[in-house]
Structure 1
Amino acid sequence: MSHRSGFACFVGRPNAGKSTLTNAIVGTKVAITSSRPQTTRTTVRGIVHRPDAQLVLVDTPGLHRPRTLLGERLNDLVRTTWAEVDVVAVCFPADQKIGPGDRFLTQELAKVRRTPKLAVATKTDLVGPERVAEHLLDIAALGDQTSTEWADVVPVSAVSGDQVGLLADLLVARLPEGPPLYPDGELTDAPEETIVAELVREAALEGVRDELPHSIAVVVEEMGLRPDRPADKPLLDIHANLFVERDSQKGIVIGHKGARLREVGTRARTSIEAMLGTPVYLDLRVKIAKDWQRDPRQLRRLGF
């Protein structure tokens, strides 16, 4: 039996279910998720190992109308990614009508002519069968209007698992033949510091006001096993800075007498320990990087 290997990316407007779908196909959490739009800020690669194939899924930020320099750079990241992969899957959430953002994205993607494109109706668990059927017709019509030929149109639910396996099969079928690209058992190629920073940001996104998620960035300053611990009782020391843009936001993140920051630390530590399999000591500090989303120097400092 021939073996296939290659890259597929999920694209879509913000909050279209791309990260949740990536995690569902990989079978474990590799991308952070949130109910807030624009949670994903990097290209996260999740690796699916099968006897017949190795599928590398690239989760991308949502393509959107940018209001900041950060937004422009995230859009550039999406366009660069879909130009380099073997197949693109466009996510259209079934609980929302096809809108101008979907049309803009599809028109942009139509310029990438040789790459096969799948349309994915996500979040089908949130609506009834009639709405799913209507949504699939709207997706087909959008393809006609933008001269985009859908290689397949498939409804899925990452939450219930419905048709997730079928989607993986459809993506694999469009990969080139080739040997595995990553060692067996590796689930992502993201550095551990990047994973930790993202898990801290995910924890910080919970329970803050609507305007705050876009203002939060996390940088891991120091990370390593504590040297004086015995080998059978390791402890991973992590020192991370959580950056916001204004002093008022710093107060929101810290909370009354530090209560919210302690909640963030507890939630993040639990996620980090689950992903890395090591007990963690997490030291979080909140700092201000004034208007970092619009400042090229600050963006570079924060890794964008």
Structure 2
Amino acid sequence: MAAYSVADGAEVARQVATLPDGGSSDSLCAGAWLSAAGERQAFNDDFTLLAGTVPGPGNKGKTATAFSVSGGSPVSTGPGATASDDRAPVFQSGTSTLWYVTGDRHLTSRDLKQPSAAPADHGTAPGQSFLLAGDRPWVRAPLEVTPDQAAVAPGGTVAVGSNLLWRRTDPAASFAEQNVEPAVLGPSLNGRAPVPGSEAMPACAARLWFDDLSLLCNARNTLLRVTFAPDHSRVDKVETLIPEEQGLIPGAVLSPDGRSLAFLREWAGTVDLYRLDLSAGAAPVRIASLAAGAPTGSGGVGRDVRVIAWQ
């Protein structure tokens, strides 16, 4: 994990972690198209810990844990850890509280800054994985959408995963969520109706929400801002934020003030980091080339490189 200066692209810090045998961080190994929340929740508040699992006692099952970003050693699992088959560990945003689903389907959390504290049981989880929106889990995702692809709107009533829009009928319920049949952002697909106003959109994957009505969407070689009507019943506007060009645009994150984006561009074996001011007529500015230190995917391109946060 490396940190770069937004001003001049200088590398200001780097940490390398080698996970122990059997250790895994599934939320960063799940695929190329993850939401910003899905990637950020792999890390705790200060990026010192990475959520993951290690083999349980006697190499049976898995135990949720976190690895030190400086070195890769797992932290103590604390009291109450068993050989249950834990799944889907993520950090609650802005904290060092690790959430996960146990083998007996209980949603559980543990504050890793208090290693002697017992885990908190949040009741039965209706699914094996989830995405946190604040301290509320979205534990049921429709059809082929996986939780680490889903981006939940700040109001907590709708989400977009891949190119599907769905909503919770009762956002106050912690463990009895029911999702309505999703609608498609873009042309009709598999018999599902498109969200009106989105029919001409290119295929794109949800990345993050600017606010409760405005979504950043990753098309293959560009970024789109999709603006919904107040009740999310239609798309009022689709804006192309960067010119379509050769190369893959795998992800982007917002600046702390919400006025700029940082994003990656992959092309011909190189990975570059860019900044884009969200003002009319602004052009992308290359911050740094990451090619020298970037790991590469099976196709020779840096598919494993993520842009996680703008601090």
| TM-score class, shorter | under 0.3
**Which structure is richer in relative contact order (CA contacts within 8 A, separation 6 or more)?**
1
Q: TM-score, with normalisation over the residues of structure 1?
A: 0.28
Higher relative helix content: 1
Larger strand percent: 2
TM-score normalised by length of structure 2: 0.27
